[in-house]
């Protein structure tokens, strides 16, 4: 296996020979063999072990084994103890998902001074993942397997089977620890590993070989389809600063509508095509929400945005007039002397004597009104933004600078209130500029 592993790295992952690496180690045979292979090839690596505190004394013994193992290889060792069950409860996750999030977040932290993090996923893991994703109705992305390289994560054993790993371990007198939880069928992956795959192998002993070929075909198909999806996206999708727009009329012209809807939105947590198709034909303002994003029906498009970008807490501005960041841009304040100045959407000039500090920056709320510059009567902010052809999403993201008496001074990036314009009698003039990030 060593020769095959070396050839695999030279042909597919040659950068690892010149990289500084962390190898994630559980104390199980897969990761222990990976470390031994890296050592035999004289790669520059350290070892990292996660103690998820899920198996009592067993977890502590795994950590002790990993520490001694790193010492025997004369490599640097990192370890961390996690309260996985607490994190699981606080974030409403499964045990496995909680451990996964904790693990990869920690890897991000400790890998700052490293080029790559290696994990010991192998071909049998690929097969298990295939069955899991198949049972969940995943698209081609899910069925085409775990990627060999994903940013800093590298999985160099994906081409090798569990049997090959075990054979290498036994032939080289390598010791490891067995995880007793692998025998439990509580987790879906274990059930597939212990019960479903053995039944398939009974009918076809060459299951892994056949699967390896199928996986190669699926990955090739994925590559071809990605090019097609990218071509269609150029016609339909418009990316802006904080949102992405999808032209509804052009979407509805597509053949294989379900396929494209899935490919457009599944990565943002939208996998229920019925819900997406409903809002396509709904009135403007209807939306669906995933854990991370919101998809809103606007007049002629679907608008996708991160939920984290929607929240805005009131920001106060005192008379020191320091520059400040607000949601998706920054405000800059400066005093000027000249009356010869003209407002535009992002640069306005205010009669400072009309201001009552502290000012505040707030987000749009229904019922707000102001007197737009150049008008004599008041106008609802909702009607003003509609006349400005502001999308429903942008309307909810509109920020307003408000005076200490709760009057609107400026609908930021739109227009000031007529009551705060400068006149020939203005003595103190405040320039306020807004810049998008």
pTM for this structure?
0.67
Backbone angles phi, psi at 44, to 5 degrees: -90, 100
User: What is the pLDDT, as a whole number, of residue 70?
Assistant: 96
Residues 6+ apart with CB under 8 A from 408: 368, 369, 370, 381, 400, 401, 402, 417
Alpha-carbon gap, residue 254 to 260, rounded angstroms:
8
Phi, psi angle pair for 301, to nearest 5°: -150, 165
Q: How far apart are CA 5 and CA 414, in angstroms?
A: 61
The DSSP annotation for 69-99 comes to: HHHHHT--EEEEE--HHHHHHHHT--HHHHH
Token pair for 135 = 């049972």
d(CA 260, CA 272): 13
pLDDT tens digits for the chain (437 residues)? 999 999 999 999 999 999 999 999 999 999 999 999 999 999 999 999 999 988 889 999 999 999 999 999 999 999 999 999 999 888 888 888 899 999 999 999 999 999 999 999 999 999 999 999 998 887 888 898 899 999 999 999 999 999 999 999 999 999 999 887 777 777 788 899 999 999 999 999 999 999 999 999 999 998 999 999 999 999 999 987 678 999 999 999 999 999 999 999 998 989 889 999 999 988 877 888 888 888 988 888 998 988 766 666 788 888 777 778 777 788 899 888 877 777 788 889 999 999 998 899 988 888 899 999 989 899 999 999 989 888 777 787 889 999 989 899 999 999 999 999 998 888 899 999 998 86
Q: How far apart are CA 29 and CA 72, in angstroms?
A: 16
Burial 45-80 (b: 16+ CB within 10 A, else e): bbbbbbbbbbeeeebeebbebbbebbeebebebbbe
């Amino acid at each position: 296996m060593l020769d095959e592993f070396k050839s695999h790295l030279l042909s597919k992952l040659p950068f690892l020979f010149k990289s500084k690496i962390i190898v994630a180690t559980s104390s199980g045979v897969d990761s222990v063999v990976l470390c031994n292979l890296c050592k035999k090839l004289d790669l520059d690596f350290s070892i990292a072990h996660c103690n998820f505190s899920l198996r009592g004394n067993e977890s502590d013994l795994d950590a002790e084994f990993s520490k001694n193992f790193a010492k025997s290889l004369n490599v640097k060792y990192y370890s961390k103890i996690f309260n996985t069950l607490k994190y699981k409860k606080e974030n409403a996750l499964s045990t496995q998902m909680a451990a996964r999030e904790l693990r990869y977040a920690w890897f991000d932290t400790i890998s700052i001074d490293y080029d790559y993090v290696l994990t010991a996923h192998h071909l049998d893991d690929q097969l298990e993942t295939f069955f899991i994703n198949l049972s969940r109705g995943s698209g081609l992305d899910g069925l085409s397997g775990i990627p060999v390289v994903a940013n800093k994560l590298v999985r160099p054993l994906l081409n090798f089977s569990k049997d090959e790993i075990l054979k290498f371990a036994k032939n080289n007198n390598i010791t490891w620890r067995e995880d007793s939880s692998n025998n439990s069928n509580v987790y879906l992956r274990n059930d597939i590993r212990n019960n479903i795959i053995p039944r398939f192998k009974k009918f076809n002993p060459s299951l892994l070989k056949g699967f390896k070929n199928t996986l190669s075909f699926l990955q090739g198909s994925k590559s071809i389809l990605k090019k097609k999806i990218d071509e269609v996206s150029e016609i339909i999708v418009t990316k802006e600063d904080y949102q992405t727009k999808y032209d509804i009329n052009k979407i509805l012209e597509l053949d294989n509508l379900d396929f494209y809807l899935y490919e457009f939105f599944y990565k943002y947590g939208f996998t229920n095509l019925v819900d997406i198709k409903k809002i396509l034909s709904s009135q403007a303002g209807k939306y669906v929400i995933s854990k991370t994003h919101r998809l809103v029906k606007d007049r002629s498009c679907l608008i996708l945005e991160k939920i984290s970008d929607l929240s805005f807490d009131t920001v106060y501005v005192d008379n020191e007039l320091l520059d400040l960041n607000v949601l998706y841009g920054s405000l800059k304040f400066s005093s000027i002397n000249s009356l010869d100045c003209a407002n535009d959407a992002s640069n306005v000039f205010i009669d400072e004597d009309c201001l009552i500090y502290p000012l505040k920056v707030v987000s749009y709320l229904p019922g707000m009104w102001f007197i737009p510059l150049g008008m004599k009567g008041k106008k609802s902010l909702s009607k003003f933004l509609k006349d400005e052809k502001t999308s429903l999403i942008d309307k909810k993201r509109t920020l307003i600078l408000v005076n200490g008496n709760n009057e609107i001074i400026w609908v930021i990036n739109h227009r000031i209130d007529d009551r705060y314009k400068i006149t020939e009698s203005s003595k103190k003039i405040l320039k306020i500029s807004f810049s998008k990030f």
